[in-house]
Amino acid sequence: MESIIHIDGLKRHYMMGDTLVAALDDVKLDVNPGDFLMIVGSSGSGKSTLMHLLGLLDVPTAGIMEIRGQSMTGSSEAKLSWMRNKHIGFVFQQFNLLNDLNVIENIALPLVYRGVPRKIRQEKAKKLAVKLGLGKRFRHHPKELSGGQLQRIAIARALIGNPDIILADEPTGNLDSATSREIMQILYDLNDQGHTIIMVTHDPKLADMGTRKVTLLDGHIVEDVPGKRKKPEKTVEEGSGDGQRHGVGVSDLVRIGINEGLLAHQMRTFLTMLGIIIGISSVIAMSSFSLGSKQKQADQIRALGANLVKVVDKQFENERLVETRVTGSLGLSRADLNSLRNGIPDIEKAACVREIKLNVVHPLGSLSPRVLGVQGDYLEVNNLALAEGRFFDVKDWSGSTRTVIIGSTIARQIHALKEARNDSSPILGDTLLLGGNPYVIVGLLKEKAMDLDELEATSVSDPNRDLLIPLETLLTRTAHLDLRSEVDEIHLQLKNEDALTRAGKSIRSILDVTHAGVMDYDMVIPMDLLKQKQQSQHLLDILTICISSISIVVGGIGIMNIMLASVTERIREIGIRRAIGATKMDIMRQFLMESMTISITGGLFGVVLAGIVVVCVCQFIGLPVVFSLPLLCIALVASTLTGLVFGIYPAYQAANKNPVDALRSE
């Protein structure tokens, strides 16, 4: 009969300091289907080394080794793992069960690395558990069970993959005599069913109870004799291997990541997440504050008129003013306003303004408004409206009447003066002294909501403190320098914001002609002011991202540190998983998934925390709540990449643990 295992000239040498140790030397052995092979020998004879080589947990220094006719010499680690998972079932003296898994999960573990769906592998594990007397222990964990029950679980785990070879390394070594007999009977029954069993034992009574007894001494086989047991008539066919694919599935990786990466050490995991949580939440929160501030500024600018263009006189003085006039420019004037209105079809409304410094006195007290002479569509252009009274009419423009319209702040000041004197008369019709001359209040402006901080940011004055008079009145009834420009500002409201660029070029072209090429004016577009303010915030955004990135990196370093500690604590678990067929890549993916689970969960908590902080703070300081969906996605991707990048080294360390050394660790 063709042997199921064939080895010839097998050697396993290794260095211990400067000494070469020949653990196995020129071993020849054939294991036939149905054998119950007992391996015996004194300590240091090479029994464990031979078992590790037969179980593909170690690689020989030299020689030939074949399983089912396939050469294992020089095979890749992935192939060795697959052959181990498909053909070999391990039963260890120390049981080697995972304490965090229950009975069913421990039994089904080899099928995880075949990619068998969870439902199928659990059903199969339950059948085996019932068969081995564990039917009432499905949900128990190893710490809750006796030694005999633990060894039954180990046997069930060895059988679940339908292997044709079972390796038992002193399976009764830690058991009492009664339990030992029960376990041996299970192994005998399995042999009767056709399983090939290779067992290491120190018990001389058991040594003769197999079909063969192989004795090792100093790394050599010194005896290979028949035992008292007869071979079964039929043997198990080559392990078929449930499932067509090899490798742990994504759902199982996620489950392992949650159970062993999050729940195993909850406080430690949370503290590790904290760096990621702080980093992600700070990125989102600070960016949301910046976006909210920008939106508030944009709303403020739009309230002033996003499609408003202002032409502002530079107000030269002394020699510069004289030089400008000699060159041919008369400064900004009402004639410029007419030229612009006639020459630019995109202009919908227009007005001109001139400011003058005058003492303003109410009969009940002094006031401190900004006095403006206006003409044209001043209210419409500046998005202002009347609360009471009327605006200036043709008679006011042409007759230079002494009439005024006051802003809401000035109205409140007058109202306060009246209340102090118990005067309840209306403000309309009151007389104000401007520079000692009486003016009658004919209108009150409706209050316009303004943010003083935003005004400072955009260099815009508060219209609620304005006092308006007809421009013609200002020019004819007040004193001013002869060479001064007729108006200070020309306000042009365009049909829409899209016309800003086109109209800006036309304005400059017309004013170049009327001002003889002298640039004694500036053009101010509110949206440009907004952009300038936002550009100044760009540096703050970069600084915020840098600080948050540092926090994320610190969190990533924390993840690496904890994962390295986790690898050190779980070396034996790594050895168990490798023994039942996990490849290096499976182990690496497992630990990577754990680190990514920590970072992704931290990222999600960071998003939630950022949302709470942004909503609370924005309500407190009066900012609009703005979240950027792309930014949220980028933050989550960043947290995921953090777990991936900082988890690679610990995962690599875990994957490269020697299975034999890992199984020996405590």
Q: Are residues 493 and 377 part of one domain?
A: yes
Note the pLDDT tens digit of each residue in 306-332.
Answer: 578 889 999 888 888 888 888 888 899
Nearest C-alpha neighbor of 590 from the set 112, 119, 271, 75: 112
Instruction: Classify residue 446: in a domain, yes or no.
Output: yes
> Hey, CA dihedral for 220, 221, 223, 228, is it positive or negative?
positive
Note the pLDDT tens digit of each residue in 328-374.
Answer: 888 999 999 999 999 999 898 999 999 999 999 999 888 989 999 99
Instruction: Classify residue 200: in a domain, yes or no.
Output: yes
Q: Are residues 431 and 285 part of one domain?
A: no
Instruction: Classify residue 616: in a domain, yes or no.
Output: yes
Name the domain boundary from 485, 519, 553: 519
Instruction: Classify residue 310: in a domain, yes or no.
Output: no
What pLDDT does 460 receive?
Answer: 59
Angle at 203 between CA 201 and CA 207, to 5 degrees: 70
Q: Are residues 602 and 507 part of one domain?
A: no
395 and 401 in contact (C-beta within 8 Å)? yes
Angle at 271 between CA 267 and CA 276, to 5 degrees: 140
Instruction: Classify residue 209: in a domain, yes or no.
Output: yes
Q: Are residues 426 and 325 part of one domain?
A: yes
Burial string for 655-665 (b: 16+ CB within 10 Å, else e) reads bebebbebbee
Q: Are residues 420 and 541 part of one domain?
A: no
Residue listed under structure tokens 């219209």: 463
Phi, psi of 468 (to 5 degrees): -105, 140
What pLDDT does 249 receive?
Answer: 80
Domain of residue 549 covers 261-298+532-664
Q: Are residues 164 and 124 part of one domain?
A: yes
Q: Are residues 224 and 279 part of one domain?
A: no
Q: Are residues 423 and 280 part of one domain?
A: no
Note the pLDDT tens digit of each residue in 429-461.
Answer: 999 999 899 999 999 999 987 655 544 444 557
Note the pLDDT tens digit of each residue in 527-553.
Answer: 555 565 556 566 767 777 787 778 788
Percent of the chain having pLDDT more than 70?
92
What pLDDT does 176 receive?
Answer: 87
Please state, as a whole number, how many other Cβ atoms lie within 10 Å of the Cβ of residue 519: 12
Nearest C-alpha neighbor of 80 from the set 106, 54, 98, 61: 54
Q: Are residues 505 and 577 part of one domain?
A: no
CATH of the domain at 58: 3.40.50.300
Burial class of 116 by CB neighbour count within 10 A (0 to 12, 13 to 18, 19+): buried
DSSP secondary structure code for residue 59 in this structure: -
Name the domain boundary from 519, 542, 560: 519
Name the domain boundary from 519, 554, 583: 519
CA 111 to CA 114: how far, in whole Å? Answer: 5
What pLDDT does 457 receive?
Answer: 44
Instruction: Classify residue 395: in a domain, yes or no.
Output: yes
What pLDDT does 1 receive?
Answer: 54
Q: Which residues, other chains included, contact 122 with Cβ-Cβ below 8 Å and sequence gap of 6+?
A: 104, 108
Q: Which pair of tokens denotes residue 347?
A: 């202009």
Packing angle of the helix pair 103-112, 147-159 (nearest 10 deg): 30
Q: Are residues 496 and 362 part of one domain?
A: yes
Q: Which residue type sits at 284?
A: I
Q: Are residues 464 and 356 part of one domain?
A: yes
Angle at 216 between CA 214 and CA 219, to 5 degrees: 140
What pLDDT does 458 receive?
Answer: 47
Count up the domains in the chain and report the number: 3
Instruction: Classify residue 527: in a domain, yes or no.
Output: no
Instruction: Classify residue 417: in a domain, yes or no.
Output: yes
What's the half-sphere exposure (Cβ side, CA atoms, 13 Å) at 259? 13
37 and 198 in contact (C-beta within 8 Å)? yes
Parts of the chain with a pLDDT under 50: 241-245, 454-458
Q: Are residues 495 and 588 part of one domain?
A: no
What pLDDT does 527 receive?
Answer: 58
